[in-house]
Amino acid sequence: MEAKHLKEWLKELGMFTFVKRRRLRNSIFALFKYLKTTPKSGIMAPNTERTFIAVKPDGVQRGLVGEIIKRFEQKGFRMVAMKLLHASEELLKEHYIDLKDKPFYPGLVKYMNSGPIVAMVWEGLNVVKTGRLMLGETNPADSKPGTIRGDFCIQVGRNIIHGSDSVESAQKEINLWFKPAELVDFKSCAHDWIYE
């Protein structure tokens, strides 16, 4: 962006005087902080949240990654990060630390370590709650048709997908699986067709 256009843009946002008084480095940081928190930017609108979704080894091996991504995109959510990895035992133990006293914990860690995982971060209005509804119940037998687990799973030990159960756990899980630089902020061209 040319300096002339940036100056006009900052004036439009009411930020020019604020930016003019600071050193360039501080101005850039202030501008990006402003853009990230204001609805004018279209990047993180009010009531927008992020969730962590992981396609487990059985979902990856069965070729369901594309179908899962498709469902989240069709719902109107925006992917801001994704990676395929073989998660370390240490990472998995930290991820499932709240289950460490359960009898199935060692088997869960072993299963999650048995193959590649697709870790993703999705963003959108009420994405945590809606994402959980899209996944279905933890036990596929209790999941309704039309949910991911209801359509693709039979047994609780192979339920193909993990989704954060709260905004707080989503933030914890995102920070555990991704570095801040791996999260990509952008405004989707479909944003204005999905949100008022």
User: Is residue 97 a part of any domain in this protein?
Assistant: yes
Q: 161-163 and 78-85: which strand pairing?
A: unpaired
The answer for residues whose C-beta is within 8 angstroms of residue 141's C-beta and 6 or more apart is 154, 156
90-147 pLDDT, tens digit per residue, is 999 999 999 999 999 999 999 999 999 999 999 999 999 999 999 999 999 999 999 9
* One domain, residues 32 and 53: no
Q: Residues 24, 76: one domain? A: no
Residue 47 among known ligand-binding residues:
no
Please identify which of the residues 5, 86, 95, 162 carries the catalytic annotation: 162
Give Cβ neighbours of residue 49 (< 8 Å, ≥ 6 apart). 123, 124, 125, 126, 127, 128, 167, 170
pLDDT band for 30, please (50, 70, 90 cuts): low
Q: Is 162 among the residues known to form the active site?
A: yes
The answer to the question of whether 149 is labelled as a binding residue is: yes
Instruction: Determine, yes or no, domain membership for 179.
Output: yes
pLDDT digits (tens, 9 = 90+) for 142-188: 999 999 999 999 988 899 999 999 999 999 999 999 999 999 988 88
Query: Rounded CA gap, 67 and 78, in Å?
Result: 15
- Are 145 and 179 found together in one domain? yes
Among 137, 147, 126, CA closest to 194? 126
Q: Are residues 167 and 91 in the same domain?
A: yes
Residue 11, pLDDT above cutoff 90: no
33 and 64: one domain? Answer: no
Amino acid at 131: G
Q: Where are the beta strands (DSSP E) in the chain?
A: 48-55, 78-85, 117-125, 161-163
Does 93 show up as a binding residue in the annotation? no
Task: Provide the CATH number for the domain around residue 96.
Answer: 3.30.70.141
Give domain status of residue 43, yes or no: no
Sign of the torsion formed by the C-alpha atoms of 53, 77, 49 and 180: positive
Q: Is 56 annotated as a binding-site member? A: yes
Which residues span the domain enclosing 7? Answer: 3-37
Q: What is the pTM of this model?
A: 0.76
